[in-house]
Amino acid sequence: MRDTTTRVLIAQGLTKIYGSRGRAVTRALNNLSLAVDRGEFVGIMGPSGSGKTTLLNLLATIDRPTSGTVTVEGRDTSRMSERELALFRRKRLGFVFQDFNLLDSLTLRENMALPLVLDRQPPSLIRQRVEALAQRLGIQHVLDRFPDEVSGGEQQRAAAGRAVIHEPALVLADEPTGNLDSRSSQAFMEILRDLNESLNVTIVMVTHDPFAASYCSRVLFIRDGALYNEIHRGDGRQAFFQQILDVLALLGGGSGGH
Amino acid sequence: MDIKRVAWSNLWRNRGRYLAYLGSAAFAVMVYFLFNAVVLHPDFQSGYRGARYAVAAMRAGAVVVAAFTFFFLLFAHGSLIRFRRREFGLMRLMGFTRGQLVRLLLWESVITAAASLAVGSGLGLLFARLFFMAISVILDLPEPIPVYAGAPVWLRTAGVFGAIFAAVSLQSIGEVMKHSIAELLRSRRRTKEPPTYSRGKAVLGTVLLAVGYAWAALGDQEHMFLASMPVTAMVSVGTYLLIHEGSIALLNRLRRNERGFYRPVPFLHLSQLLFKLKDNARTLTSVSLLVAVILTAMGTIYSVYALAREDALRGQVHSLEIARFGAGAADLAAEAEGFTMLLEDQGLEVPHHWSLLTAWADLSSQDLMGSVILVPYSIYRDMREAAGQPALPAPEPDDALAVGFGPVSGANPQPYVLTLEDQRLEGLAHVDEGRSLFYLQWALVVADETFARLTAQAPEDRRIALAAWDTSPDLGRQAIAAHSAVREHVDTGSGDVFLSRAVRYDDQVSQWSIVLFMAVFASLVFFAACCSLIYFRLSAEIEDDRRYYRRLSDLGVGRDLLRQVNRRQLVTLFFVPFLIGSVHFTFAMRALSITVGYSVIHYGWLMALGYLVLYALYFLAVQGFYWRSLRLGG
Ligand SMILES: Nc1ncnc2c1ncn2[C@@H]1O[C@H](COP(=O)(O)OP(=O)(O)OP(=O)(O)O)[C@@H](O)[C@H]1O
Ligand SMILES: [Mg+2]
């Protein structure tokens, strides 16, 4: 067992039951537990409907579990008020979604700056951080364009920038490459890996794409709302990729078919 | 398939969007119903006192309301249908024939028309009692007129609004039919390009507004009326251009100022404003022009009313005045005694009464030039005392007091020469700037002995007899009756002058009060339209806004901040057009002041304040409602 101080995220006995008032009840998550250490890059895979998005939403504190707890940096999020949660999300979490989730009314620069603006950081510092990060993400030339005016890959890189700019404890990504072609996917995954390795950003990523998952240091597989398997990356990415494909074949139900 | 059921469920599904449409339509129906209840009232046909005004005012109001409602509903329903294009496309795709779609649209129209007619006329019936009571009070009728809501009122309302709804529905059927299924299905692409600033348009807008304003502010009395058309057109186009280009320029500038912009609220608020600018500019322009129209129309009517009131109250010095010229003048004093008794018999008190047999003479001095009536100092002092106003000390035998000329620029006192046939008087005239003594404005007050000497030798054709009464009450039904009784004995045909403040007030003011009353109702129809324009904009935006605020909420933006941003958005959408409309209105009132030759801006603002209060209430209601509709959980 590793030292718990390096443990960024602990989820224990997460159960989520959807449905109320006469509707059919869905048990989307069933007593699922997981832990993530600082600097880890964790992938979550599983068939469609297995509860991946549900899990991520619980980790992101934008939904509350039916039972179980989520602890980030030693703080139990189930004990926090709505207001504390919002503040916690803003300061300690970063998000990347499948549909990029940039605000259309802001330029890429402003989208990336949003967490710092909400934190009332001085404009000079904001500018400096955004530009340094944009350099790293390779989008410095489109910073002053609006999301509509750049490619999906560029939007997603800006979204990644927004997710890490305030140095969160944990970045959560739900199928971040789901809307990207293979070239942009690869470029994006390389950026995530770079952020993970050079800036030591902790990332939890849901994905259907075995190739994207091969960038992770560890991949969890879930099925019917429960943990099914877990594999660690050993030597090369190529070997890891093959390992992932093997588990997916065992898992059945397809990788989601997206 | 049961088309009627589909129509019902369509409307029910879109009820949020149709609410404002149906609401403003029903309100217009109610006002139209009430106006026609007056126009068609049987008692008013037989010429009730003041009924002529009421019927004419309400008839004009009904026409304005119907015409405006026609255009407004055409516009409003058009945008509702455009919003639902995709829905109709899906129906065609699922196998609705063109004929079925037409029948569906007809059913929808029948339902909405029936609903607004029923609700509107129902409300009309509900408020008819209050409405007629108000009219009875305004016209000061001896007894309240009976409530009337006979079949003709229902028929006319149903006929006119039925025709309006039919036209609106034909237009929307045309709109849906002219597009192919593919066109209908093509979802509104809502990529909003960042608006670009055009210097040319900004300059054009500024020039149009500046010229329009300058014309309104500096024009002369004669041409103001003719100018109102081009000025209105210039201001309307200028407003749109300036709102559009001006806000782009302003917002971009604010956005570039990092210190100001990189703070949570401005960051979100200003970027959203700029993002929505294209869609908002049209609504902002329409609302600000509507606000300007409402305020200006009401401001004009209210000003005319206030001026008429002031004129009736202040323009006439005494409650009742009679004047007789020439040969018979000497008899008036004796008759006047009889009139006093007559007034008292009619139940009035007569605290003051003056009779004066005098003559007119020619006055000339540096500032005072023209015909004046001579008044003895004793009567002058007595009148001033009765009115509670200061009197100047008695003049020396050859000196005089000049009354009714207002302030003079030259020396005070100043030397004067007075001639009455072959008599001549020279001395110093002290100017009394207070109000006139009789309806004949200019008077020269001289010492009683001087007065006696001068008038004794006046030839007959220079004689004037004046009689004046201050009565209590001096306004209202009783005063009118008493004054009218006196009038019976006055022969205005042979040149006698009869002036009754009560009658004049009634003539001038009660006709304007009924116009004002009607205009308030008509303006509320415009006002409701104005409010629904904002509602349309908001209901078009709510999906996007919901997504926007959810997204921010997911990113950890607290509810307080979201609420603040949302409130600012709404404040901008509501109050910027009101502000712009008020500026237009101020210039229009300035133009009106020039036309009537009297400053009326303060009346206008007083009334604008009333609308602002109403508008602010609407804002508060919508603001809370909109926030709840965003459903941000928690
Ligand atoms: N809001 C909801 N109400 C009811 N049931 C829901 C809700 N959200 C998800 N579910 C159900 O919970 C189960 C898990 O859904 P979830 O979205 O977590 O799956 P997923 O693994 O993300 O699938 P995919 O790969 O297709 O995105 C599914 O059966 C789904 O139908
Ligand atoms: Mg999912």
Task: At A95, give phi and psi (nearest 5°).
Answer: -125, 140
- Give the rounded distance of the alpha carbon of B96 from its chain centre: 50
Cβ within 8 Å, pair A89-B194: no
Whether this model's ipTM surpasses 0.90 comes out as no
C-alpha span between B82 and B76 (Å, rounded): 10
Q: Chain A residues with CB inside 8 Å of B259's CB?
A: 123
Task: Report pLDDT for A24.
Answer: 74
Task: Measure A53 CA to ligand 2 centroid, in angstroms.
Answer: 4
C-alpha span between A121 and A118 (Å, rounded): 8
The pLDDT of residue B156 is above 90: yes
Task: Report pLDDT for A250.
Answer: 85
Query: Which letter does DSSP use for residue B95 in this model?
Result: T
What is the distance in angstroms between the Cα of B563 and the nearest Cα belonging to chain A?
A: 13
Task: Measure B585 CA to ligand 1 centroid, in angstroms.
Answer: 57
Pocket-forming residues, ligand 1, beta carbon under 6 Å: A 18-19, 26, 28, 46, 48-54, 256
Average pLDDT, chain B: 86
Cβ within 8 Å, pair A105-B271: yes
The pLDDT of residue A253 is above 60: no
Give, as residue ranges, everything with CB less than 5 Å from ion ligand 2: A 53
Query: Which letter does DSSP use for residue B462 in this model?
Result: G
Closest chain B residue to A126 measured between Cα atoms?
A: B262
Task: Report pLDDT for A256.
Answer: 42
Residue pair B140/B506 in contact (Cβ under 8 Å)? The answer is yes
Q: How many CA atoms lie within 13 A of B83 on its CB side?
A: 17
Task: Report pLDDT for B302.
Answer: 85
C-alpha span between B121 and B157 (Å, rounded): 8
The pLDDT of residue B168 is above 60: yes
List the single residue in A60, A101, A120 with the smallest CB-CB distance to B263.
A120
Cβ within 8 Å, pair B556-A82: no
A163 C-beta neighbours (distance < 10 Å), count: 27
Max intra-chain CA distance, chain B = 106
The total number of residues shown for chain B amounts to 634
pLDDT above 70 coverage of chain B, percent: 96
Q: Which residue, among A56, A57, A90, A105, would best test binding to B if mutated, counting the most B CBs under 10 Å from its CB?
A: A105
List the single residue in A86, A91, A117 with the smallest CB-CB distance to B262.
A117
pLDDT above 90 coverage of chain B, percent: 23
Task: Report pLDDT for B83.
Answer: 80
Contacts across the A-B interface (CB distance below 8 Å) = 67
C-alpha span between A106 and A147 (Å, rounded): 8
Under the banding of pLDDT at 50, 70 and 90, the label for residue A254 is very low
Cβ within 8 Å, pair B554-A110: no
Residue nearest to atom 14 of ligand 1 (CA): A51
List the single residue in B191, B274, B551 with the smallest CB-CB distance to A103.
B551
> Per residue in B371-411, pLDDT tens?
899 999 999 999 999 888 888 998 888 899 988 887 888 88
Residue with tokens 């209908």, as numbered in its chain: B184
Question: Mean pLDDT over residues B172-187, rounded?
Answer: 79
Question: Mean pLDDT over residues A118-137, rounded?
Answer: 91
Task: Measure A57 CA to ligand 1 centroid, in angstroms.
Answer: 11
C-alpha span between B632 and B627 (Å, rounded): 8
**Which residues lie closer than 8 Å to B338 by C-beta, 6 or more apart?**
B489
What does the block give as tokens for B67?
């015409």
C-alpha span between B340 and B511 (Å, rounded): 29
Q: For A164-237, list the strands marked E by DSSP.
A: 170-174, 203-206, 218-223, 226-232
Task: At B470, give phi and psi (nearest 5°).
Answer: -105, 120
Average pLDDT, chain A: 88
List the single residue in A87, A103, A148 with the smallest CB-CB distance to B558.
A87
- Where do runs of H (alpha helix) occur along B315-437? 332-345, 377-386
pLDDT, greater one: B229 or B371: B371
Q: Name residues 594-633 of chain B within 8 A of A (Cβ).
A: none
What does the block give as tokens for B220?
């002369």
Task: Report pLDDT for B48.
Answer: 61
Range with the poorest average pLDDT among B36-40, B176-180, B355-359, B626-630: B176-180
Residue pair B181/B92 in contact (Cβ under 8 Å)? The answer is yes
**Residue A253: strand, helix, or coil:** coil
The pLDDT of residue B109 is above 50: yes
Count of helix runs (H) and strand runs (E) in chain A: 8, 10
Q: Which residues of A touch B (CB under 8 A)?
A: 60, 62, 82-83, 85-91, 93, 95, 101, 103-106, 110, 113-115, 117-118, 120, 123, 126-127, 146, 148
Closest chain B residue to A124 measured between Cα atoms?
A: B258
The pLDDT of residue A138 is above 50: yes
Under the banding of pLDDT at 50, 70 and 90, the label for residue B590 is confident
Q: Measuring CA to CA, which residue among B586, B592, B587, B577 is closest to residue B605?
A: B586
What does the block give as tokens for B456?
């004794």
Under the banding of pLDDT at 50, 70 and 90, the label for residue B49 is low
Closest chain B residue to A82 measured between Cα atoms?
A: B634
- Phi/psi region, residue A67 (left: phi>0; alpha: psi -120 to 50; beta: rest), is beta
What does the block give as tokens for B132?
């007629």
Task: Report pLDDT for B216.
Answer: 76
What does the block give as tokens for B493?
């045909």
Under the banding of pLDDT at 50, 70 and 90, the label for residue A59 is very high
The pLDDT of residue B225 is above 80: no
Report yes or no: B552 at the A interface, CB cutoff 8 Å.
yes
Report yes or no: B263 at the A interface, CB cutoff 8 Å.
yes
Range with the poorest average pLDDT among B39-53, B149-163, B436-450, B486-500: B39-53
Alpha-carbon torsion B202, B205, B209, B212, what sign?
A: positive
Neighbour order of strands in the sheet with A75-76: A26-37, A7-18, A67-72, A75-76
What is the distance in angstroms between the Cα of A158 and the nearest Cα belonging to chain B?
A: 15
What is the distance in angstroms between the Cα of A106 and the nearest Cα belonging to chain B?
A: 6
Task: Report pLDDT for B571.
Answer: 94
Task: Measure A49 CA to ligand 1 centroid, in angstroms.
Answer: 5
Q: Which atom of ligand 1 is nearest to the CA of A51?
A: 18
C-alpha span between A193 and B209 (Å, rounded): 58
- Give the rounded distance of the alpha carbon of B3 from its chain centre: 46
Cβ within 8 Å, pair A120-B264: yes
Under the banding of pLDDT at 50, 70 and 90, the label for residue A171 is very high
